[in-house]
Each structure stands twice: as C-alpha cells, then as structure tokens.
Amino acid sequence: MKCLSCEQLSFQIICKECQNTLLIPSFHKRELEHDFFNYSFYSFSEIEEFITSKYYFHGDRVFNILASLSFKKFAQGFEFDELVYSIGIDEHTRHEFSQTAILSRYLKSKNIKPLFNQLKATNIIKYAGHDLEFRKKNRRKFKTNLTNKKIILVDDLVTTGATILEAKKILESKNNEVLFSLTLADAKI
C-alpha cells in the first residue's frame, strides 16, 4: 500500500518516515473555562488530512497510529495519586469505528483506566463546518450513569470547546470530577 502522506510504498498506512518527521507531537494547552484546560498534541492544520480520515474506511488505522504516537506516550508519563478514568466523548460509531474509543484505549496505563460507552449523545447532529452559534442551538444532550470518578475527557478535535464543556457539565452533575480534556488536535492553534 501507499503512505497517505508521501505516497511511497509502505507496510503501514502512514510510513515510519512520515511518522518520525511529520507526526512528532508537541503539547498545547488551552483554557476552555476558568481553570479547566484542554491539552492537545497537534494543531489541526498539521494533521487535517489524518483527522478527516475518520470519514473513510481506513480511518481506524490512521487513528491507531496517531494515538500510539501521542496518547500512549502521554499515558506512560502521567502520574496521579489515584486511578483516573478516560472517557471518550460520544463513542458513537458513525463510520465503522469510534475515533474517541481508539484514542481512549491508548491511555490505558497504571494510572489511567479507559471506560467505554459511558457518555452518549442523544443528538448526533454533525458539527463539522458549523460555527459556535449552531453548536449552541444543537447541543449534544449527553447522558451518563457514571458517578464519583476522576475523569479525563477524550476527543479527537477541539474547536470552540462547547462539546467538551457540555460533556464536563453532565459528568459533574453526577458527582464526577473532570480533571481536564485531551484531544489529538486543536483547531485554534
């Protein structure tokens, strides 16, 4: 097969050369609300072609590579006094896989335990290409039964932060503590 990026022959969908040169993560921090931060590994413009692979049949292979290069390394260095749970934001499978479930799975470590299908949106309208006003009018309307946990929220992309903050609010209403959110990319950097 050919590498998605350089189009050279490769055994992986993104060749090792491109992984080692183009996909070196850098850590970005953005405050979404007072004292609540989102951390991401790339700017959206750096990995747009890879993030949008979620709309295609090969996207799961791309997300596994991206998660291994970023989320897995983050988890290996993450220290906390007690067990923390990673929760993917709306793990609904629209394209044969859930990109947030893949990302969350790579956080598994001695300090982080992924939990799956714990935060579901009852409104699955697509936000891609829409502004903050549209997002506010069409909330995800999350539901969860999860209680009394320390949580890292996981998503593939943060744009306005509205979805992450909505998820945080519903989790906190059930006596959970959301420590921060973690995304592959940030659209504002």
CATH code for the domain of 90: 3.40.50
Is 175 within a domain?
A: yes
Is 54 within a domain?
A: yes
pLDDT of residue 93: 61
DSSP string, 125-143: ---TT--HHHHHHT---EE
Is 4 within a domain?
A: no
- One-letter amino acid at 179 equals L
pLDDT of residue 95: 60
Domain of residue 39 covers 22-186
Is 123 within a domain?
A: yes
Q: What is the pLDDT along the chain (189 residues), one digit of tens a residue?
A: 899 999 999 999 999 999 999 999 999 999 999 999 999 999 999 999 999 998 888 899 999 999 999 999 999 999 999 999 999 997 766 667 889 999 999 999 999 999 999 998 887 777 667 676 776 777 778 899 999 999 999 999 999 898 999 999 999 999 999 999 999 999 998
Tokens of 169: 């609010």
Is 47 within a domain?
A: yes
Q: Name the residue among 183, 189, 173, 166 with its Cα closest to residue 37.
A: 183
Is 34 within a domain?
A: yes
pLDDT of residue 124: 72
Say how many C-beta atoms besides its own lie within 10 A of residue 145's C-beta.
8
pLDDT of residue 127: 66
Is 125 within a domain?
A: yes
Is 7 within a domain?
A: no
pLDDT of residue 86: 98
Checking DSSP bridges between strand 142-143 and strand 150-158, what pairing results, if any? unpaired
Say how many C-beta atoms besides its own lie within 10 A of residue 175's C-beta.
10
Tokens of 40: 């991401």
How confident is the model over 56-86, as pLDDT tens digits?
888 999 999 999 999 999 999 999 999 999 9
The count of domains in the chain is: 1
pLDDT of residue 106: 98
